[in-house]
Structure formats: structure tokens, C-alpha cells
């Protein structure tokens, strides 16, 4: 392990973080908030720490092992320093809460400890939504786009954007990073404009646009999107949450071919759309049957919440914790689905579920016809056994961490429903769970500090898709 090289690269990422903090500082200055000094001090401290690390002379080239270390340590340190504005502005009373809120932001989880969102300084609210946006496409990927000196960046890219189906948009990795960020930024700008036309202010529209494209879900209101009571706003959010749930490389292909054909050819996209439609229909029938809601109103609430949960965004337009048990059960299951690979969503991802389902069907057939050769395919391409084994291992570790997280939170004195939904919401990067404590009208502030630290690690494991974080805990990883 070339530790000096790792620390040097992490230092550059911290310098980038300090530069980015200037943006929320500008917002704080514009609104003359009480958080001006907090951002000023945070920028200085982060810049000094990053500068000191870059003074370390690196040796050798970046390999896969160093790439994993840079991503893992980079995310932890970015969160550690990104938490300073929350603590020094008085928004949080403890560093545990500040770290939790920042980790929730960078991992696009959207789980908050803030009890009074609307009373929080505007610069701080903008910063926590900006952490969403940075984490959605990946701050390491942004570093690759801005710092061409980061050689062998493919290892950083693969560690931060892990995927069962590796897919670079263009041959050059730095160009891929730039293209992805341009598409991402273009959608964000477009949504902010549409939300302004739909009735939001520029400030709130920008914050919700940052949270939507990152599938994060931080809002400017205590009760999230429900506070606006606006059909145009909800429809806008539904459309852009759906777009954020698709593979971003498809947009490049659509632009290049000037055709929507790449979209419809994707099995993952078709299954994604099918799950949304079926889940929304079942929940609509549950709402109309038990609550007697008009069909249109029930469909509106169901469709918004299904898209919000399956894309792991976490916005809420209704207190779904009061919905029928069937509807709540469907939402809990959807927490594990996620969107398409190559999107900003969390959870397991539709692509993995499709492949594992087909592989399971293949094993059932081979049980009574062992000589039959049945390849597991996706979009007409036979997948190698190594890829399937990797997905199966991911699935197992994912469920193991979920179970461990549930037990960990429950051990701190939390009720079972809260423990289960909090663990599911954090490892899937959704945010709100079920129950009065962490549901759509609650927050994570009342949980035990140990529960918050455990859930913070679950968020990071979910965002980095587990392996990029777990390798840091392996003694063999650090051996030379």
C-alpha cells in the first residue's frame, strides 16, 4: 500500500471541498445569515488540512488498491470536514449529529436530525443540499473531471461508481467524467427553472432540484413536498426523479443517436417502469379501498411516493406512515430495489435483481435437467460466471449488513419497526423510514449516538456499494 500516494490524492480532494464551500458561503453572505463565520472557518481549516496532505510527496503510480483507499478514506474525510459548518454554526449541538447529517447528504440518503428545518440558516440548508448534489454523481468523479493530473483515474472511477455492468461513455475516462457531469448539471438547471415556473422561489427550486437529481431528498420544509400542496410541483419532481433513476450513459447515447431507441432496448429500464406502474396501481387501490379517496387523488399520492422510494429520493407528499399496511409493506420492499445501474440511486439496483432472478430460474431448470446449458443474459448478452458470482456476493453482504444494522439500532433501545426501517432506509440511501420516529414526519435526531454512527456507516456502505468501504477493514488490504 502506497500510503503517501493515497494521502496526497485525498489532500487534493479536500482542497476541492474547501473551494466548493465558497458557494454556500456566498449564499450565507447574500442572506446575511448567522452561518457566515462557520463557513469561513470551515473553508480555512479544510484548505489547510488539504494543503498539508498535498505536501506529502507521492511515490509510484495509483493502482486498484490505492484507488479503493483514496475513495474510502476520501469519503470519510470529506464528510468529517464537511460536517464542520453544521457544528460551528450551532445547527447541531454535537459532532455526531453534524457527521450524521453530512454523511446523509454526501451519500444522498436524506435522513435528517434537524427538527426545525425551516428555522435553519439558509446557507446551511443550501450546503446540505449541495452535499447531495456532489455525492450524487460522485465527488471523486468530479475530481477526475477537474484534475487531469490524477493519473490512473480508472481505479478511482470504478471504486466510487461500482457497477455490475462497467460502462464508460467515451474511451477517455476524464472525458467520461466531464460528459456525465454536464448531463447531470443540465438536468439540474432545467428542473430548477421548471420548479420556478411551477411556483417555487429560485432558492427553494434550486435546493429541490439539487436533491432530486441526486435522488437525495433534502427539502426546505419540515414536511417535505407536502408543504407546497401543488400538483405542478409534484409532477415536476416525479419526472425528474424518474430521469435520475435511469442510467446516465443512456442519455449520452440518446443524444448521440438522436433516438430514444437505446432507452426502450434496455431490459432494466422496462422492468423499472413496470415495477413503478404495478406498485402504484396496487397502492392506489389500497388507498381508494380503505380510505375512500377519489381515484385521481389516490393515484397522485401513490405514484409520487412509489417513484420517490424506488429512486431512493425520499421526498414525501403525504404521511405514508398512516397508509394501509399493504401500501406500507410495498414501500418497504421498494426500498431495496433502487433504480437502474449507472443512476444516482441507491439500494440493490434493478439490473442486479433482474440478473439474479434469471439466474435463479436457470438453477431451478438445471435441478431437473442438469445437462442443459442455459446462459444468463441481459439485453441479449450472456454474462460471465464471475459477474453473476459478484452480484450474488453483493446481495448476500447487502442483506447481512441490513440485518446487522437492524440489530445494532434495536440494541440501543429503539423499537423494531424503527430499527428495521431505519436500517433499510440508510443502507438503501432513502432517508425517511416508517414509524413515528424516523417516518416522513419524524427525524433521526432522537436516536442514540451509537445508532447514528452505525447508520452513518450503513449510508456510506450503500453509496459505495459495500466493497469500497469494507476493504478498509481488512488487515490484508493495508499490507505492502
What tens digit of pLDDT does each residue of 285-302 get? 999 988 888 999 999 999
Mean pLDDT of all residues in 470-479: 70
Burial class (CB in 10 A: 0-12, 13-18, 19+), 379: exposed
The segment with the largest mean pLDDT, out of 271-285, 290-304, 376-390, is 271-285
Least confident of 68-82, 307-321, 406-420: 68-82
- pLDDT at res. 62: 65
Q: What is the mean pLDDT of the chain?
A: 86
Residues 6+ apart with CB under 8 A from 94: 87, 449
Share of the chain above pLDDT 70, in %: 89
pLDDT above 80 for 171: no
The three grid cell numbers given for residue 243, joined into one nine-digit string? 430521469
Average pLDDT of the segment spanning 158-171: 50
Angle at 400 between CA 394 and CA 404, to 5 degrees: 145
Residue 433 burial (C-beta neighbours within 10 Å; 0-12, 13-18, 19+): buried
Q: What is the pTM of this model?
A: 0.89
Of residues 248 and 60, the one with the higher pLDDT is 248
Kindly indicate the confidence band of residue 153, based on its pLDDT and cuts at 50, 70 and 90.
very low
Top pLDDT among 65 and 223 is at: 223
Query: Using 50, 70 and 90 to split pLDDT, how confident is the model at 23?
Result: very high
Q: How confident is the model at residue 402 (pLDDT cuts 50, 70, 90)?
A: very high
Dihedral angle at the C-alpha atoms of 271, 276, 277, 281, nearest 10 degrees? Answer: 140
> What pLDDT, on a 0 to 100 scale, did the predictor assign at position 95?
96
Write down the pLDDT at residue 9: 82
Amino acid at each position: 500500500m502506497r500510503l503517501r500516494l493515497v494521502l496526497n490524492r485525498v489532500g487534493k480532494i479536500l482542497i476541492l471541498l474547501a473551494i466548493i464551500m465558497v458557494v454556500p458561503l456566498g449564499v450565507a453572505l447574500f442572506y446575511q445569515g448567522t452561518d457566515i463565520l462557520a463557513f469561513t472557518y470551515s473553508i480555512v481549516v479544510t484548505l489547510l488540512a488539504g494543503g498539508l496532505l498535498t505536501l506529502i510527496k507521492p511515490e509510484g503510480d495509483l493502482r486498484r488498491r490505492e484507488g479503493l483507499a483514496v475513495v474510502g478514506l476520501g469519503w470519510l474525510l470529506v464528510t468529517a470536514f464537511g460536517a464542520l459548518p453544521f457544528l460551528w454554526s450551532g445547527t447541531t449541538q454535537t459532532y455526531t449529529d453534524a457527521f450524521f447529517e453530512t454523511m446523509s447528504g454526501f451519500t444522498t440518503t436524506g435522513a435528517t436530525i434537524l427538527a426545525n428545518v425551516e428555522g435553519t440558516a439558509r446557507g446551511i440548508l443550501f450546503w446540505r443540499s449541495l452535499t447531495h448534489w456532489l455525492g450524487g454523481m460522485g465527488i471523486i468523479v468530479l475530481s477526475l473531471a477537474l484534475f487531469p493530473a490524477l493519473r490512473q483515474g480508472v481505479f478511482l472511477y470504478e471504486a466510487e461508481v461500482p457497477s455490475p455492468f462497467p460502462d464508460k461513455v467515451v474511451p477517455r475516462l476524464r472525458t467520461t467524467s466531464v460528459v456525465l457531469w454536464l448531463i447531470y448539471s443540465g438536468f439540474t438547471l432545467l428542473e430548477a427553472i421548471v420548479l420556478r415556473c411551477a411556483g417555487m422561489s429560485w432558492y427553494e427550486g434550486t435546493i429541490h432540484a439539487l436533491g432530486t437529481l441526486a435522488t437525495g431528498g433534502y427539502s426546505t420544509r419540515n414536511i417535505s413536498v407536502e408543504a407546497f400542496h401543488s400538483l405542478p410541483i409534484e409532477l415536476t419532481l416525479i419526472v425528474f426523479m424518474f430521469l435520475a433513476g435511469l442510467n446516465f450513459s443512456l442519455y449520452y447515447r440518446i443524444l448521440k443517436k438522436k433516438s430514444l431507441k437505446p432507452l426502450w432496448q434496455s431490459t432494466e429500464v422496462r422492468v423499472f417502469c413496470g415495477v413503478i406502474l404495478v406498485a402504484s396501481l396496487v397502492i392506489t387501490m389500497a388507498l381508494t379501498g380503505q380510505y375512500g379517496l377519489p381515484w385521481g387523488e389516490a393515484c397522485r399520492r401513490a405514484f409520487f411516493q412509489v417513484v420517490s422510494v424506488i429512486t431512493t429520493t425520499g421526498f414525501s407528499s403525504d404521511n405514508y406512515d398512516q397508509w394501509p399496511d399493504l401500501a406500507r409493506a410495498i414501500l418497504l420492499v421498494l426500498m431495496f430495489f433502487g433504480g437502474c445501474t449507472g443512476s444516482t440511486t441507491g439500494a440493490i439496483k434493478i439490473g442486479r435483481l433482474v440478473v439474479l432472478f434469471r439466474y435463479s430460474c436457470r438453477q431451478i431448470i438445471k435441478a431437473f435437467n442438469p445437462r442443459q446449458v442455459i446462459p444468463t443474459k441481459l439485453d441479449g448478452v450472456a454474462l460471465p460466471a464471475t459477474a453473476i458470482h459478484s452480484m450474488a456476493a453483493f446481495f448476500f453482504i447487502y442483506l447481512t449488513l441490513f440485518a446487522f444494522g437492524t440489530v445494532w439500532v434495536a440494541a440501543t433501545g429503539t423499537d423494531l419497526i424503527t430499527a428495521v426501517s431505519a436500517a433499510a432506509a440508510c443502507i438503501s440511501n432513502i432517508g425517511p423510514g416508517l414509524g413515528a420516529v424516523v417516518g416522513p414526519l419524524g427525524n433521526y435526531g432522537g436516536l442514540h449516538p451509537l445508532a447514528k454512527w452505525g447508520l452513518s456507516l450503513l449510508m456510506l456502505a450503500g453509496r459505495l456499494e459495500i466493497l469500497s468501504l469494507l476493504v478498509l477493514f481488512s488487515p490484508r488490504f493495508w499490507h505492502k
